[in-house]
Amino acid sequence: MSHVDAVLLPELDGPVPATLPSALGLLSLALGVGALVAPRPIARLTGVDDSPVARAVLPAIGLRELGSAAGLLSGRRPAGWAWSRVAGDAMDLTLLGRALADRGGERRHRVALTTLAIAGITAVDVLAAVRVGRARRARARVIRMQIAVTVNRSPAEAYRFWRDMENLPRFMAHLESVRADDLRRSHWIARGPAGHRVEWDAEIIDDQPNKSITWRSLPGTRVPNAGRVRFVPAPGDRGTEVRVELRYAPPAGALGRVVAKLFGEEPEQQVRDDLRRFKQVLETGEVVRSEGSPNGISVRQQAMQRPAQPLPASRR
Amino acid sequence: MKATAWMGADSVKVVDVPDPKIMNARDAIVRISTTAICGSDLHLYHGYIPAMRKGDILGHEFMGEVVEVGPQVRNLKPGDRVVVPFPIACGHCSSCQRGLYSVCENSNPNAGIAEKIMGHSPAGIFGYSHLLGGYAGGQAEYARVPFADIGPVKVPDEISDDQAVMLADVFPTGYMGAEMCDIKPGQVIAVWGAGPVGLLAAASARLLGAERVIVIDRFPYRLRLAEEHIDAETINYEEADVLDTLNEMTAGRGPDACIDAVGLEGHHGNAAMYAYDRAKQVARVETERPFALRQAILACRSGGVVSVVGAYGGFVDKFPMGAFMNRSLIMRTGQCHVQRYTRPLLERIQRGEIDPSFIVSHRMPLRDAPKGYKIFQKKQDDCTKVLLKV
């Protein structure tokens, strides 16, 4: 899985993008060092050099900033640290508000400017915290699966069937069609509930005849997804272990709900059923149907079986 | 067409349903001439098998005439007279190719549910719950037969319907029960249950060279069949202690192999023992009443074989694992791999080695199926096997 993770979906892999949190970390570092090393000039600059309390509080604020800097620059839990900066900002704004009330003239002017600057930084901090949190949740939504089935056919036969991407809808229940544009690229259309369709383009990025096929959606897809199937000879001359690794990242919101319905409440079960159908098609020639499950294997159908009696003419 | 439908516990009805049509390229449609009620249909009738739906067509023992074949069926043509094995098997998966047809890996479209209960899914079976595929059964005027290029066997004219329909289930099942005992000359085989499968297991044990065959049941008329047709010794467990009697008969050794042809709805001579498991079954903390299985394990000679062909569906309590382990017993079991046995057993019937239809007690028209279930359930009128004629 880790291999597929790293290769397939660059937009969803690796650490959460951390440019803004790092920049804020550097800002914290500068402020922290400044407050500790040169509290007097800082007090003068911000207009609070007349208060002994302010001179005592400034190094404490410096320490707090160094803490935030260490957290943000470490790259771990960036959302948490970004929010810690927002909390610090709120504290600073409170202190500045009180300082503003006590002062007049040039000092009042400087305190006001400082307040304005801190307010601006607060806005940037909130933006960073929200953005990092959202990115983290998007990664948390990524669904990863590893499912395998043993098929009583040679790796070459199993590979050949899968390599013709237009065969995929014959066993992948949620697909309406796959059109091969050329040897690498294909256009996929998935069936959703209530006539919703989700479409994307995909490309084969690694193709090892009779061994494995690796594909991923092209960048810009609303539902990034990727997969790899390996065809491993089953021990004891029992055909082929078809080992599938899949991942996709359902978006948030309405489209996300459509995608979630597409894969049902048990996405793993759906893929398992897809592989069962793949096995049926390869071993018996087609998907096996019964009167209770006239469309063959399907989680949804298993929950809502029709009686085991022939279908009325209207359903054929 | 008319078909026998499950309408809830203790209720079947003959109803009008659409005629079956080809759904897969390897299907055939069979116009049924004779079909039978199986003891395991009574488990459905009593509501012990989960995943039944009102309106499900019952029946997994049937034969008749092919009236239509799918484009991939080349071994059969309309007009052929065939008997159809009860497990639905594709013939091409690893299990089928090893002869394990009743655990075909492809024929259960509801394998996902079966896996949750059984770990892996067995094959689909005609008319035997949605857990085992949701296939319409054969107690009807017509049936769709999937994988018709693998299962159905042509029946020669000289074999009667009554004989041939035994090949759908009970004769192969009984035969496999005996075959799993790995019978050697001089061996004593005990069979629990003198229903159709038990009687045919006993008869098959004879065919396979058992020295003595002992049949255990509580219905004198059934035990009489065992004595008259199989030359078996019998024990009525309501009159004698089974373990003591078996020890006496075998001079303390115990039978070399024991066949459980009873399954999940056993009865016990001791009312308290029966009440114990019956109560747990009603409360759904146990799904089976495994009296025969427990007794077979205790009775069996050390190092012997316990062969289980009676049907089980779920979980048993008080399994005598200590006896089983400490006395080096072997258990062999399975739904019958009927496709493996149909032709050889048909040949045995043709050669006159056995006529399995000696178990048939009742023949009635399909429309009387509800009555057939009732008298079979109540063991009325010396009922052992009900055939429905279409």
- Note whether A112 and A34 are same-domain residues: yes
Same domain, B148 and B214: no
Among B18, B55, B90, whose Cβ lies nearest the Cβ of A312?
B18
B364: left (phi over 0), alpha (psi -120 to 50) or beta: beta
Pairing of strands B188-192, B257-260: parallel
Tell me whether residues B55 and A309 touch, CB distance under 8 A. Answer: yes
B124 near A CB under 8 A: yes
Asked which of B304, B333, B362 is the last residue of a domain, the reply is: B333
Retrieve residue A135's tokens.
Answer: 């990115």
B230-253 burial, b for 16+ CB within 10 Å, e for fewer? bebbbbbbeeeebeebbeebbeee
Question: Is residue A200 a part of any domain in this protein?
Answer: yes
Asked if the structure places residue A311 within a domain, the reply is no
Report the chain A residue with the minimal C-alpha distance to residue B2.
A309
Same domain, yes or no, for B129 and B210? no
List the single best residue of A269, A279, A302 to mutate versus B (max B Cβ within 10 A): A302
Are both B81 and B222 inside the same structural domain? Answer: no
Q: Are residues B185 and B322 in the same domain?
A: yes
pLDDT per residue over A137-151, tens digit each?
A: 767 778 888 999 999
CB-based contacts of A272, cutoff 8 Å, min separation 6: A147, A149, B112
B116/A contact by beta carbon, under 8 A: no
Write out B122-137 in H/E/C secondary structure. Answer: CCEEECCCCCCCCECC
- Let me know whether B230 and B308 are in one domain: yes
Q: Of B289, B312, B333, which marks where a domain is finished?
A: B333
Same-domain pairing of A221 and A115: no
Contact between chains at A290 and B3 (C-beta distance less than 8 A): no
Quick: pLDDT tens for B54-96: 999 999 999 999 999 999 999 999 999 999 999 999 999 999 9
Check whether residue B47 and residue B157 sit in a common domain. yes
Chain A residue set in contact with B, beta carbons under 8 Å: 150, 152, 238-239, 269, 272-273, 276, 279-280, 283-286, 288-294, 296-299, 301-302, 305-313, 316
A223 shares its domain with A274: yes
The CATH number of the domain where B129 resides is what?
3.90.180.10
Integer Cα distance of B117 and B342 in angstroms: 30
**A147, A77: one domain:** no
A218, A273, A267: which is closest to A246 by C-alpha? Answer: A267
Q: Which residues have CB under 8 Å from A136's CB, separation 6+?
A: A16, A79
Domain membership of residue A118 as a residue range: 2-139
Structure tokens, A245: 């690794």
B175, B303: one domain = yes
pLDDT, averaged in runs of 10, over chain B (390 residues): 96 97 97 97 89 95 98 97 98 97 97 90 97 97 98 98 98 98 98 98 98 97 97 96 97 98 86 80 77 96 98 89 97 98 98 98 98 96 97
Q: Does B134 touch chain A (CB under 8 A)?
A: yes
In a shared domain, residues A134 and A194? no
- How many pairs of residues across A and B have Cβ atoms under 8 Å apart? 127
- What pLDDT is attached to residue A8? 54
Quick one: which of A167, A148, A145, A147 has its CA closest to A157? A167
Inter-chain residue contact A152 with B97, CB threshold 8 Å: yes
The answer on A171 and A285 residing in a single domain is: yes
Are residues A296 and A151 part of one domain?
yes
List, for residues B189-242, the tens digit of each pLDDT value.
999 999 999 999 999 999 999 999 999 999 999 999 999 999 999 999 999 999
Examine the domain organization and report whether A233 and A158 are in the same domain.
yes
Region A238-263: mean pLDDT is 81
Q: Which amino acid is at A27?
A: L
Give the domain-ending residue among A108, A139, A170. Answer: A139
Which chain B residue shows the shortest CA-CA distance from A239? B94
Q: Which of B93, B126, B145 to mutate to test the interface with A (most CBs of A within 10 A)?
A: B93
Asked if A310 lies within 8 A of B51 by C-beta distance, the reply is no
**What tens digit of pLDDT does each residue of A79-117 get?**
888 888 899 899 889 988 888 888 888 888 888 898 999
Provide the domain limits for residue B248: 171-333
The span from the CA of A90 to the CA of A71, in Å, is 18
Average pLDDT for residues A200-204, to the nearest whole number? Answer: 94
ipTM: 0.91
Do residues A53 and A163 both lie within one domain? no
In this structure, which amino acid lies at residue B94? S
Taking residues A10-28, report their average pLDDT. Answer: 72
Of B5, B24, B113, the CB nearest to A289: B24
Q: Domain check: are B146 and B6 in the same one?
A: yes
Residue A302 — pLDDT band, cuts 50, 70, 90? low
pLDDT on residue B213: 98
Give the other-Cβ count within 10 Å of B107's Cβ: 33
Is A213 domain-assigned?
yes
Asked if residue B97 and residue B53 are part of one domain, the reply reads yes
CATH number of the domain to which B234 belongs: 3.40.50.720
Residue with tokens 């050669």: B351
The CATH number for A149's domain is: 3.30.530.20
Residues B108 and B231 in one domain: no
Is B5's Cβ below 8 Å from some Cβ in A? yes
Q: Which residues of B touch A173 (CB under 8 A)?
A: none
- Does A316 fall in a domain? no
Best of B19, B22, B105, B120 to disrupt the A interface by mutation (most A CBs within 10 Å)? B105
- The answer on B210 and B151 residing in a single domain is no
Dig out the tokens for B185 from the structure.
């000359």
For residue A309, tell me if it sits in a domain.
Answer: no
User: B245 with B325, same domain?
Assistant: yes
Statement to judge: residues A155 and A128 lie in one domain: no
Task: Check residue A265 and give its pLDDT.
Answer: 61
Query: Which residue, of A139, A159, A193, is where some domain finishes?
Result: A139
Same domain, A133 and A188: no
**Together in a domain, A17 and A42:** yes
C-alpha radius of gyration, chain A, whole number: 29
Number of domains in chain B: 2
**Residue B275 C-beta-side C-alpha neighbours within 13 Å:** 3
Using 50, 70 and 90 to split pLDDT, how confident is the model at A15?
Answer: low
Q: Do A293 and B147 touch (CB under 8 A)?
A: no
Total of domains in chain A: 2
Which chain A residue has the Cα nearest residue B92? A283
pLDDT for residue A9 is more than 60? no
**Domain termination site, one of A139, A163, A194:** A139
Tell me if chain A has a CB within 8 Å of the CB of B109.
yes
Chain A residues with CB inside 8 Å of B53's CB? Answer: 292, 305-308
pLDDT at A2: 45
Cα(A210)–Cα(B336) distance, rounded to whole angstroms? 37
d(CA A251, CA A138): 7
Q: How confident is the model at residue A299 (pLDDT cuts 50, 70, 90)?
A: low
pLDDT at A130: 83
Please give the residue of chain B at the shortest CA–CA distance from A272. B112
